[in-house]
């Protein structure tokens, strides 16, 4: 745990990546697994993560990401896209996965399936999209923590135009919406931000035991 805290102190939102350094396939697979194993409401994982390597595509995304250099300089660009309008089929697919994984019958899970459908499907599209977008933040948290253990930098970003990302990546046609962007790679030695002292609230100020 001491190592975990040390790595949390090491990490920061990288402002300038070293474009010459690439994440190994092994480490990338570890990060993907960390995202896959993230907590999620009901376990549904109502999102998809796009790993964008194509330089031409990333060049198109940079202007709609407030021109930030991390978009094109990082080793990889991850785009978290939430399902906009959750329907019964999304829940059915999850229930089938549970049945297959745990050796159960669909009938065994009917109560749980019906409960999820009753709570989720009647919501408005806006409510569903807001909820599924929040789930991507849980996955991002796992990515950030796992990357810090590997001494890989992550810059979580909300500074981009989702509607433009949706258009460029064809997400609208997939029923998805770009909710978060996370360039990953290695900090450039010229990024002065890495030397700044981390500023956080004190433990006394942040926590209150009742």
Instruction: Write out 127-144 in H/E/C secondary structure.
Output: HHHHHHHHHHHHHHHHHH
Asked if residue 108 belongs to a domain, the reply is no
**Tokens 């940079």, residue?**
62
Whole-Å CA distances, 173 to 10, 31, 45, 147: 40, 27, 19, 31
Closest C-alpha to 81, from 20, 147, 142, 129 = 129
pLDDT of residue 58: 98
Residues 184/146, Cβ–Cβ less than 8 Å = no
Q: Is residue 171 in a domain?
A: yes
* Closest-CA residue to 148 (of 1, 49, 12): 12
Q: How many CA atoms lie within 13 A of 97 on its CB side?
A: 10
For residue 110, being part of any structural domain is answered with no
Q: Residue holding tokens 């964008």?
A: 52
Within a domain: residue 97? no
24: how many CB neighbours lie within 10 A of its CB? 11
| Residue ranges in the chain whose pLDDT is less than 50 | none
Domain count, the chain: 1
Residue-wise pLDDT for 74-87, tens only, equals 999 999 999 999 99
Q: Do 160 and 64 touch, CB atoms closer than 8 A?
A: yes
CATH of the domain at 70: 3.40.109.10
> Residue 107 domain-assigned?
no
Distance CA 153, CA 7 (A): 11
Q: Are 183 and 78 in contact (CB under 8 A)?
A: yes
Contact 166, 178 (CB under 8 A): yes
CA distances from 178 to 76, 97, 170, 200 (A): 16, 25, 10, 28
pLDDT for the residue numbered 138: 98
The whole-number pLDDT of residue 186 equals: 98
Range(s) of the domain holding residue 184: 2-86+123-206
Using CA atoms of 38, 40, 45, 48 in order, give the dihedral in degrees to the nearest 10: -60
Q: Report if residue 92 sits inside a domain.
A: no
Return the DSSP state at 17. B
On whether residue 115 sits in a domain, the answer given is: no
Residue 2 is predicted with a pLDDT of 83
On whether residue 63 sits in a domain, the answer given is: yes
Tally of residues, the chain:
210
pTM: 0.96
């Amino acid at each position: 745990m001491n190592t975990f805290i040390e790595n949390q102190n090491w990490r920061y939102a990288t402002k300038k990546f070293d474009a010459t350094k690439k994440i190994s396939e092994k480490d990338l697979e570890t990060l993907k697994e960390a995202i896959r194993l993230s907590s999620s409401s009901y376990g549904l994982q109502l999102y998809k993560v796009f790993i964008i390597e194509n330089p031409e595509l990333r060049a198109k995304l940079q202007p709609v990401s407030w021109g930030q250099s991390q978009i094109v300089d990082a080793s990889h660009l991850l785009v978290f896209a939430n399902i906009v309008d959750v329907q019964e089929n999304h829940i059915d697919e999850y229930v089938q996965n549970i049945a297959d994984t745990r050796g159960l019958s669909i009938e065994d899970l009917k109560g749980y399936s019906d409960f999820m459908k009753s709570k989720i499907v009647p919501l408005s599209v806006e409510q569903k999209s807001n909820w599924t977008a929040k789930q991507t933040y849980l996955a991002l948290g796992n990515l950030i923590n796992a990357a810090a253990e590997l001494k890989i930098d992550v810059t979580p970003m909300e500074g981009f135009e989702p509607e433009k990302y949706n258009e460029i990546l064809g997400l609208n046609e997939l029923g998805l919406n770009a909710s978060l962007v996370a360039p990953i790679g290695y900090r450039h030695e010229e990024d002065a931000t890495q030397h700044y002292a981390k500023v956080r609230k004190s433990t006394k100020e942040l926590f209150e035991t009742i």
